[in-house]
Amino acid sequence: MDWGKANRMSKVIKPDGNCFYLAMDHGYFQGPVTKLENVGKAAAPLLEFVDALFVTRGVLRAQISPSTETAIILRVSGGTSMASPDLANEGITTSIDEILRLNVAAVGFSVFVGSDYEHQSLLDLAELVNRCEPYNIPVMAVTAVGREMEKRDARYLAMACRICSEIGASVVKTYYCEDFEKVTTGCPVPVVIAGGPKTNNDLEVLEFVYKGMQAGAIGVNLGRNIWQNDRPRAMARALQGIIHQSLTPKQAFELFQTFER
């Protein structure tokens, strides 16, 4: 691997081989999501616990300090909204010039395997990889399911992740599911877990992250289950414990309960 790409990869995958990304890109199609009305304010108390922040260029420029020491993963897909009947019709939103100007560690792009827009979506991923590789920018593919949450099973996710890796993604983000090792063993590049809607049970989040990592994921790209938690710093600290300090869910939950009490 060339020095530039290795340097960027080292910012998004830490020396222990694991990673903790804070997802705050939701506004790119959902608008001002509850507790993410101001990304800069929501992110500030959490950045000390995470390795990278996943945001769009608009939020990055407007609300994140250029002196941040947190690596930035830039979301570069978009083109639909929650008001649209089909969330799968996304494309590339950000030029390679802009990606370079913003000096980001990596970019993230959603792919909608099995949707009416599968062909366009996969070719757009290929195009993004083709534009990024000459400049050593890693691409994180996001296996998106739109509103079809029932798609989140091992058979579908293993296929989607493998396809993204074959097209050239350096990292693939997907959902945790039963038989998750089928997803990770079939994917030749690192897999990270996305969160999904906020759960009602804090321990449950710690458990699925732990189980996902036991099954081969290298970490998470998590949003709502952190910043919609009533104690987001405690949740971020507990997740950091699982991801980088090999804590069990029980140990992490104890840390969550006692942190800053």
| Residues engaged in binding ligand R5P (CB under 6 A) | 23, 25-26, 54, 142, 194-196, 221-225
CB of 127 to ligand R5P, least distance (A): 19
Work out the number of other CB atoms within 10 angstroms of the CB of residue 49. 22
CB of 227 to ligand R5P, least distance (A): 8
Annotated catalytic residue, options 173, 198, 211, 250: 173
- Nearer Cβ to ligand R5P, position 100 or 149? 149
Find out whether 18 and 212 touch, Cβ atoms under 8 Å.
Answer: no
- Nearer Cβ to ligand R5P, position 24 or 167? 24
CB of 195 to ligand R5P, least distance (A): 2
Q: In this chain, which residue has its C-beta nearest to ligand R5P?
A: 195
- Nearer Cβ to ligand R5P, position 129 or 142? 142
- Nearer Cβ to ligand R5P, position 26 or 131? 26
Alpha-carbon span 203 to 159, nearest angstrom: 29
Cβ density class 25-41: b for 16+ within 10 Å, e for less = bbbbbeeebebbeebee
CB of 194 to ligand R5P, least distance (A): 4
- Nearer Cβ to ligand R5P, position 4 or 45? 45
Find out whether 88 and 146 touch, Cβ atoms under 8 Å.
Answer: yes
CB of 2 to ligand R5P, least distance (A): 28
173 catalytic residue (yes or no): yes
- Nearer Cβ to ligand R5P, position 174 or 184? 174
CB of 33 to ligand R5P, least distance (A): 8
Q: SS3 string of the chain?
A: CCHHHHHHHHHHCCCCCCEEEEECCCHHHHCCCCCCCCHHHHHCCCHHHCCEEEECHHHHHHHCCCCCCCEEEEECEECCCCCCCCCCCCEECCCHHHHHHCCCCEEEEEECCCCCCHHHHHHHHHHHHHHHHHHCCCEEEEECCCCCHHHCCHHHHHHHHHHHHHHCCCEEEEECCCCHHHHHHCCCCCEEEECCCCCCCHHHHHHHHHHHHHCCCCEEEECHHHHCCCCHHHHHHHHHHHHHHCCCHHHHHHHHHHCCC
Catalytic residues: 173
